Structure 1
Amino acid sequence: MRDVLPWREPVPLDGTMGEPRARGRFGEYGGRYAPESLVEVCREVEEEFREAWADPGFRGALARLLAVHAGRPTPLTPVRRLSQELGVQLYLKREDLTHTGSHKINNVLGQALLATRMGRRRLIAETGAGQHGVAAATAAALLGLEATVFMGERDIERQALNVFRMRMLGAEVVPVTTGSRTLKDATSEAMRHWVGATGDSHYCIGSVVGPDPYPWMVREFQRIIGDEARGQCAAELRTGVPDYVVACVGGGSNAAGTFAGFADTPARLVGVEAEGGAGAARGRLGVLHGCRSLFLQDDDGQITQAHSIAAGLDYPGVGPEHAHLRDLGRARYVTVTDDEAIGAAVRLARSEGIVPALESAHALAWVIRAAGGGDLPAGSTVLMTLSGRGDKDVSTLKELL
């Protein structure tokens, strides 16, 4: 299968992936489409985040937590056997090696520190694959906060291990039984709950979606992935910068954090979506969960159901900054099927001894396909963010293999 969008020449743009414009806009996307009761709360979050991000004390406290609790920096791993098979030089940014097993901890520790700074005593979170929920429960336990995590009933069934981890960490896991019973509906329920709990609770959104300032704030907390990788590539690669930078995209937080480190370089940025959740590749302009972006919709403008074997990619849209990067031609967004992702996960496990999350396996599947189909020229250097480990997906894979 061919990718949906053709290549455009990557042109580094000054200001790309900097602060959004007024009212949280990335081009025509973004904004603050929230109930009136949440608009003022979002303004407060923005003000507090700006102050905290400019405060060396806050930044220092976060850096220490990321180092001593989350285990940063994560390594850049050359995958030598698979690279030889594919005819490219593939390097993995190993977010699977963080505490809790995914990139989600980077954002959650930042937001949990912000919540304590704002005097909030409880975190509200949504989760699909469960990794953001586990990270939220972990940060809450670490900082003495309560945590309430909304999760679709279908995802609770397929991510039982992470549900147990959240409850063991002391979080309340609330099953969501409406709609598709997946990530979209968990997000909707979490936002509804937040309306009545703004006094003592902070909504810790897990991706670069939602009303301003969340897409920008989450990207800044995840920027550490790209910043670390940029320095590691400078030391490891002869050219200093990889030819391609690749990451999976649901809402898009690990990709946004990775891309932020390379947006001002000649590297080609590639976001890989699930075939059944291709908001950037096939979405239309709309509003969902507080922001204007690209979403899967029917002819009447109703949001349609997404599908992916990877619960974290089972979302019918994409963060507004990704939509903007797509329009600029700065990033390309492609799709991968369930079967391709499963095959990539098995191939990485058997060639390199690494079992990836099925979300990350989508990014790898595109690399494999592109190397075989000529989209990745022989000898290209490729940086791919391995956003999470595959423990949570073992039961799913066991049924299919």
Structure 2
Amino acid sequence: MGEPRARGRFGEYGGRYAPESLVEACREVAEAFREAWADPGFRGALARLLAVHAGRPTPLTPAGRLSEALGVRLYLKREDLTHTGSHKINNVLGQALLAARMGRRRLIAETGAGQHGVATATAAALLGLEATVFMGERDIERQALNVFRMRMLGAEVVPVTTGSRTLKDATSEAMRHWVGATGDSHYCIGSVVGPDPYPWMVRELQRVIGDEARGQCAAELRTGVPDYVVACVGGGSNAAGTFAGFADTPARLVGVEAEGGAGAARGRLGVLHGCRSLFLQDDDGQITQPHSIAAGLDYPGVGPEHAHLRDLGRARYVTVTDDEAVGAAVRLARTEGIVPALESAHALAWVIRAAGDGDLPAGSTVLMTLSGRGDKDVSTLKELL
């Protein structure tokens, strides 16, 4: 999982399908990031912020009681323990530092579950930047706690009332807004989607998950490498970051999507939000509305590198239902004392199901990225349980 080929391609996926007014802005971001990523000073500043502000490294937690019940050895990479409560802070701190280096004074972001918005608002406050976060009206209703957190941190939260009023529409509106604000604003995309260089840049900023986990597994496991590496996938940033640490090992990579938003599992080739990838579409090629109980997975496609990994057979992509995810969240809470985000619960739901039906052989070692904590989903769970 290195740099994409020319024009930001991962196989036949990726690229820079953006309005002419954004092509130059994307080129500037690409050049600035390559320069910054090669600069030890920038890397050192980011590493320090990740340590003293975000709380890295995050622990690798053995799920003892659940492992015993499932007949596998399950380890959780605890991104829920980072500041702001999810993996999103890893990417946002890097992009915020880049924006400041480029002389930009404002961050623009889209958010679904709200975790990326909270992370963006947090980084903006830390570095003295402004933040404008676009969020679907439906997601604002079901993620009210995170909306309050963003506003408390000083961010402007803009409701998006078009389309399905969820993540897809928030992303579209954020990109439209960026067209008229490229001179003073940086678009801080929250996942491995969008025009080049974002899929690659976000993966590199999230690679810290996989690199840390690789070292932790080497110290913890007799084999040094888990048999399976599992993560939830919407656009796919936590999975891309995790997989990057294990792509050159024999570990089997499994991305778990929502049944109603399965871009990698059931999507078709198309273009959306600036990149060519796999998206849910009707017979006329129109993007169809996804559904997931987890707002962060309520996206109709998948990042281009995930589509490429699927084609190569290097990663497998599976789906679970809303009910399975809710059941997994409850089970983790009651066996390990951890309430996961509903996004992360999708990954756990597959582990539980696969251990039960033999898809995960008994005794397998499984590393699962717990991408976020479930505080934001308590209201949703309360209504269902």
Q: Normalising TM by the smaller chain, what interval?
A: over 0.9
> 1:4-52 deviations in whole A, cap 9, x for unaligned?
xxxxxxxxxxxxx100000000000000000001001101100000000
Structure 2 Cα separation of the partners of residues 330 and 73 of structure 1: 27
Number of residue pairs matched by the alignment: 385
Structure 2 Cα separation of the partners of residues 280 and 383 of structure 1: 21
> 1:73-95 deviations in whole A, cap 9, x for unaligned?
00000000000000000000000
Which ranges of structure 1 fall in alignment gaps of 5 or more residues? Answer: 1-16
Structure 2 Cα separation of the partners of residues 378 and 296 of structure 1: 34
Deviation at 1:235, TM superposition (A): 0.1
Structure 1 Cα separation of the partners of residues 118 and 29 of structure 2: 23
Match among 37, 44, 51 for residue 67 of structure 1:
51
Structure 1 Cα separation of the partners of residues 3 and 174 of structure 2: 26
Structure 2 Cα separation of the partners of residues 19 and 200 of structure 1: 28
Structure 2 Cα separation of the partners of residues 216 and 311 of structure 1: 23
Structure 1 Cα separation of the partners of residues 28 and 94 of structure 2: 16
> 1:301-323 deviations in whole A, cap 9, x for unaligned?
00000000000000000000000
SS of equivalent residue, structure 1 residue 269: strand
Structure 2 Cα separation of the partners of residues 165 and 307 of structure 1: 25
Deviation at 1:128, TM superposition (A): 0.1
Deviation at 1:198, TM superposition (A): 0.3
Match among 174, 198, 204 for residue 220 of structure 1:
204
> 1:235-278 deviations in whole A, cap 9, x for unaligned?
00000000000000000000000000000000000000000000
SS of equivalent residue, structure 2 residue 261: coil
Match among 241, 245, 252 for residue 229 of structure 2:
245
**Residue in 1 aligned with 2:69?**
85
Deviation at 1:160, TM superposition (A): 0.2
Pair 1:123-2:107 in alignment: yes
Pair 1:259-2:265 in alignment: no
Structure 2 Cα separation of the partners of residues 160 and 153 of structure 1: 10
Deviation at 1:232, TM superposition (A): 0.0
Structure 1 Cα separation of the partners of residues 89 and 116 of structure 2: 7
TM-score, length of structure 2 as denominator length: 1.00
Deviation at 1:397, TM superposition (A): 0.2
Pair 1:275-2:259 in alignment: yes
SS of equivalent residue, structure 1 residue 379: coil
Q: Which runs of 4+ in 1 moved over 2 A?
A: none
Structure 1 Cα separation of the partners of residues 348 and 122 of structure 2: 28
SS of equivalent residue, structure 1 residue 147: strand
> 1:175-226 deviations in whole A, cap 9, x for unaligned?
0000000000000000000000000000000000000000000000000000
RMSD across aligned positions (CA):
0.1
Structure 1 Cα separation of the partners of residues 151 and 269 of structure 2: 37
SS of equivalent residue, structure 1 residue 72: coil
SS of equivalent residue, structure 1 residue 105: helix
> 1:133-177 deviations in whole A, cap 9, x for unaligned?
000000000000000000000000000000000000000000000
Aligned residues: percent identity?
Answer: 96
SS of equivalent residue, structure 1 residue 397: helix
Structure 1 Cα separation of the partners of residues 232 and 290 of structure 2: 16
Deviation at 1:282, TM superposition (A): 0.0
Structure 1 Cα separation of the partners of residues 211 and 248 of structure 2: 12
Structure 2 Cα separation of the partners of residues 385 and 172 of structure 1: 30
Structure 1 Cα separation of the partners of residues 8 and 283 of structure 2: 28
**Residue in 2 aligned with 1:114?**
98
SS of equivalent residue, structure 1 residue 344: helix
**Residue in 2 aligned with 1:185?**
169
Deviation at 1:72, TM superposition (A): 0.1
Deviation at 1:287, TM superposition (A): 0.0
> 1:82-111 deviations in whole A, cap 9, x for unaligned?
000000000000000000000000000000
Structure 2 Cα separation of the partners of residues 378 and 233 of structure 1: 19
Deviation at 1:125, TM superposition (A): 0.1
Deviation at 1:228, TM superposition (A): 0.0
Deviation at 1:366, TM superposition (A): 0.0
SS of equivalent residue, structure 1 residue 276: helix
Deviation at 1:382, TM superposition (A): 0.0
SS of equivalent residue, structure 1 residue 148: strand
**Residue in 2 aligned with 1:204?**
188
Structure 2 Cα separation of the partners of residues 120 and 18 of structure 1: 28
Structure 1 Cα separation of the partners of residues 30 and 383 of structure 2: 44
TM-score, length of structure 1 as denominator length: 0.96
SS of equivalent residue, structure 1 residue 305: coil
Deviation at 1:61, TM superposition (A): 0.1
Deviation at 1:56, TM superposition (A): 0.1
Structure 1 Cα separation of the partners of residues 66 and 329 of structure 2: 12
